[in-house]
Amino acid sequence: MKCVKPALIACIFVIFFVLASPWTLPLFNRVEPWIGPLPFGAGFIIIMLFVAGFLLALLENYETRRGM
């Protein structure tokens, strides 16, 4: 179970790399509608941030239960 915290932190920073890197930017720098009318780029960023927030909430819950 020792790997849970580093794994969650690693996932959160992988999302950061995907969103912020100049090499991955062209992958989501697209205009076509994706979720309803939301364009692909904006939709992708918002969903990834929601996932990052969820992972952070999981991390908080894990650390609280473990008294960390």
Of 49-68, binders to another protein (CB under 8 A) are 49-50, 52-53, 56-57, 59-60, 63-64, 67-68
CA distance 63 to 68: 5
Q: Which backbone phi and psi does 15 adopt, to 5 degrees? A: -60, -40
The reply to whether 19 sits near another protein by the rule CB under 8 A is: yes
Two tokens at 27?
């992958």
Number of helical (H) and strand (E) elements in the chain, helices listed first: 3, 2
Residues that bind another protein in the complex, under the rule CB under 8 A: 9, 12, 16, 19-23, 25-26, 29-31, 33, 36-39, 41-42, 45-46, 49-50, 52-53, 56-57, 59-60, 63-64, 67-68
